[in-house]
Chains A and B, each alone.
Chain A
Amino acid sequence: MIEGGEQMRSVRALAAVVICLLAASDVALAAEPKQGGILRVYHRDSPGSASIHEGATYSVNVPFMPIYNNLVVYNQSVAQNSIDSIVPDLAESWAWSKDNKTLTFKLRQGVKWHDGKPFTSADVKCTFDMLMGKSQQKFRQNPRKSWYDQVNDVTTNGDYEASFNLKRPQPALLALLASGYTPVYPCHVSPGDMRTKPVGTGPFKFVEFKANESIKLTRNPDYFKKGLPHLDGIEFTIITNRSTAILGFISGQFDMTFPTEVSIPLLKDVKTQAPKAVCVVEPNNVATNIIINSSSPPFDNLDIRRALALALDRKAFVSIMFEGQADIGGTMQPGPAGLWAMPKEMLETIPGYGPNIEANREEARKLMAKAGYGSDKRLAVKVATRNIPIYRDPAIILIDQMKSIYIDGELEVVDTAQWFPKVARKDYTLGLNLTGNAVDDPDQSFYENYSCGSERNYTNYCNKEIEKLFDQQSEETDTAKRKKLTWDIDKKLQEDVARPIIFHSRTGSCWQPYVKGITIMVNSSYNGFRYEDVWMDK
């Protein structure tokens, strides 16, 4: 009996080993990427051009990032962008000088542009000279010129070494260079041609871009990363109607939705009608916020600005719009996806972030009374916002919440074409805005949105003291110290009601189960679309 039992145990053990081996071989087989296939993705709108450097929306990055390479890039299979996830791309390696004022890249040799010409350090210099406005050739528009404010010049040493010489240390430069917004362009192709017939070194070559119709890319057989890409090509069909696009995905006419574009309610429909689809909901480093024109009455009064911040019930926004799936935080994206967010206990000490909404609003009403407003004398304001649902919906909730502190808001919807000119002119009193961050780094966020005189500082907020702190954190090479400084700055920005952050959104992306190798970045919507590792198991 004992012998039989032992035999049985041995058989079971053997069976278990066999099952494990079979499972392991199955996993190994499943994990082995297959070559070939065209990835069919729908695109939400027709990008203005194919030139990433001239674009300011990820509608450009998603289809065109696969054409290019950067010097360095965020690891495409790691969801969280950080300094640790930066990997070599056209650069083989990089090194900071001892004084942290020179960043030198050793470049790969033997890399060719899609038109067959060799890639050299001259292309790196050309690209960044153009970005800094130091070149004869000019971009039509250069929205990220300020990223390179601290770069004195870019110098080359032979064909395969390029150095960025800085005015002062700026550790964040590497993070900016790793963004999907920072590809290297060829010297020999004009900016005009890069808008219509882009040439890169990347895994896919440009085939055609028919405005409002489609964008087609084909495999680059000479890609310098051997064995990549796995796909034969990528086809983006431009479908502006969201319902049609989603139905196309559900019916299997597309392998993937446009990344981070499926709203939470729509995601439910997708999961019901295409239960096999793989769907994820991730934060995208887009903050919904209130822009207050502090240079004109009545919001030149700090008490009224503070009252407004105190009136916010952020959880209500999150619950109504995202069924609870969004995050509350300050300027920097909340954790765990965001790297620089202040701890929850620190956040809750900021007026308006405490859990007792009624107490906050009571305090707000006192501030309003101090400013001369009450139930018998209500403040009437127009709440301007862009006429698309992701702007309009929270604006309506905001108007409702403001009623509790004697403010009667009237919704003023503005055509997309007019929205940015209007806020840039500061032609508004109160507005609801969305701010997307290309890189999860305080340098990008603080200088762009809160620096005195910055074009994107829509609220006219200007605090010289805090500006010094911006520089201090920017120069700090010790990450822990920089993080602490960032928290203090973020807290101060919220206390100053510079641009009250309501919530940080989350959005969905779906793909068919046979699509493998997709990684949706969790702290940026701009950096994860190289597609060189994507393959199809069919």
Chain B
Amino acid sequence: MFAYIVRRLALMLVTLFGISVIIFVLLRVVPGNIVDILFDAAGFVDPTDKANLEKELGLDQPIVVQYLRWIGGLLHGDLGYSYVSEKPALQEILPRIPITARLAGLALLFSASIGIPLGVISAVNQGTRLDYALRVVSLSGLSLPSFWLGLLILMASVSLFGSMPIFNPNPKTWTEAIAIYCVPAMAVGFRSAALTMRITRSSMLEILRQDYIRTARAKGASERSVNYHHALKNAVLPVITVIGIEAAFLIGGLIVTETVFNIPGIARFLVEALRWRDYPIVQNLVMLIAVVVVVTNFAVDMLYAAIDPRIRYTD
């Protein structure tokens, strides 16, 4: 087990190194850097001023030197500084992490707490009206783009309550605090909840046909005990895999949700930084996301063993 963990950790480092190279090279392959954008948007290009700025930002150096500078800084906790705001990148990124983390956490919680029970209900009531209704809900969750759902929620909120849950760093009331996080989390988590529900349903249906379930019923176990104790526990493994993958994909949904609900999190910040080719911000944010994805995958793998005693990681 220990050797397995060490091997996985080493693999994680190799993966992160590969990602860092890919991010760095891709960013520089995309046409235009921040100097082009700043100068050409101004409509006036003085080649000397432009060259001076490229030198100031270190963009005149060979790409390998630029990469080594970045990685060297990263290992020492120096993330560089934002080309746009001219503030340290860490200072720009840090305050945004808890906002997005809260939102992502709530979205995953919403996804699991809605998706798993509804999936179970749908499976145990297979072929009934309730099952069909829940399947329609899950299909709509997969079909509705989160930006559109977000806008619908905002419009409904303005129309019904005369206000909308737009982000406020200092909410005045508890309800406002809940609204500014929970409503966007629901908008982004709805799709994920739908997927979780469908996976739970299909996994449950498969388990419910197993011999040991029949045996449990024959032994007189209650339906509740059969469904939740015997079946769900064994059906949950693929669900955990999906939630783990969804956690990684969540950042895509968060970009639009943070934009629609005007939440100053890292997802929206990443898009803005990309627009400005603010390399230090983009590189460090993508690395951060990569770390989250890699660690989540690792955690999910570890969870398998914890949940299913049949799974053993061999050295």
Contacts and interface: CB of A to CB of B under 8 A. Distances in A.
A211 B37 contact: no
A247 B275 contact: no
B39 interface: yes
B38 interface: yes
Nearest to B85: A211
Contacts of B154: 243-244, 247
Nearest to B268: A212
A40 to B, nearest CB: 11
A138 interface: yes
A385 to B, nearest CB: 16
B45 A211 contact: no
Contacts of B275: 416-417
B84 interface: yes
A410 interface: no
Nearest to A196: B86
A300 interface: no
A141 B39 CA distance: 7
Given A142-B44, A251-B158, A456-B43, A48 B164 contact: no
Contacts of B92: 211
A214 to B, nearest CB: 8
- Size range of the interface on A? 35 or more
Contact of B42 (A141, A196, A210, A240): A141
A248 interface: yes
B29 to A, nearest CB: 14
B32 A421 contact: yes
Contacts of A140: 38, 49, 53
- Size range of the interface on B? 35 or more
A67 B84 CA distance: 20
B46 interface: yes
A455 interface: yes
A139 B52 CA distance: 11
Contacts of B42: 54-56, 141, 143
A447 to B, nearest CB: 12
Interface stretch (B13-21, B254-262, B292-300): B254-262
Given A57-B41, A142-B46, A240 B31 contact: no
Nearest to A240: B259
B264 A253 contact: no
A497 B154 CA distance: 47
B151 interface: yes
Given A48-B84, A244-B154, A251-B158, A143 B32 contact: no
Interface string B148-176: 00010011011000111010000000000
Contacts of A213: 264
Contacts of B46: 141-142, 145
B87 interface: yes
A528 to B, nearest CB: 21
A195 B53 CA distance: 14
Interface string B262-288: 101000110010011100000000000
B164 A251 contact: yes
Given A211-B92, A416-B275, A244 B262 contact: yes
A82 interface: no
A456 B49 CA distance: 17
A141 B260 contact: no
A146 B45 CA distance: 11
A192 interface: yes
A356 interface: no
Contacts of A212: 264, 268-269, 272
A456 B41 CA distance: 10
B260 A195 contact: no
Interface in A231-263: 237-241, 243-244, 247-248, 250-253
Contacts of B82: 211
A461 B169 CA distance: 51
B308 interface: no
A139 B39 CA distance: 12
B78 to A, nearest CB: 19
A142 B163 contact: no
Contacts of A196: 85-87
B56 to A, nearest CB: 8
Nearest to B162: A251
B43 A143 contact: yes
B272 A241 contact: no
A456 B44 contact: yes
A116 to B, nearest CB: 24
A195 B49 contact: no
A320 interface: no
Contact of A211 (B151, B260, B272): B272
A501 B41 CA distance: 21
Contacts of A252: 162-163
B154 to A, nearest CB: 5
B40 interface: yes
Contacts of A49: 84, 86
Contacts of B53: 140-141
A251 B160 CA distance: 10
Contacts of B44: 56, 141-146, 455-456
Contacts of A209: 85
Contacts of B40: 420-421, 424
Interface string A404-418: 000000000000111
Contacts of B84: 48-49, 211
Given A196-B87, A417-B37, A141 B151 contact: no
A46 interface: yes
A244 B43 contact: no
B164 A237 contact: no
A138 B50 CA distance: 12
Contact of A424 (B31, B45, B166, B259): B45
B160 to A, nearest CB: 11
A357 to B, nearest CB: 33
Interface string A140-161: 1111111000000000000000
Contacts of B85: 196, 209, 211
Contacts of A424: 40, 43, 45
A420 B39 CA distance: 9
Given A417-B32, A424-B45, A248 B264 contact: no
A54 B41 CA distance: 11
A98 B221 CA distance: 107
A419 to B, nearest CB: 8
A337 B275 CA distance: 35
9 contacts: A46-B272, A49-B84, A56-B44, A138-B52, A141-B38, A237-B262, A241-B262, A243-B151, A417-B275
Interface of A: 46, 48-49, 54-57, 138-146, 192, 195-196, 209-213, 237-241, 243-244, 247-248, 250-253, 273, 416-418, 420-421, 424, 448, 455-456
* 10 cross-chain pairs, A with B, having the tightest CB-CB distances, nearest first: A143-B42, A420-B40, A56-B42, A213-B264, A143-B44, A421-B40, A251-B158, A456-B43, A211-B85, A239-B262
Given A46-B272, A418-B31, A424-B40, 8 more contacts: A48-B84, A141-B49, A142-B49, A211-B92, A238-B262, A251-B163, A253-B166, A417-B31
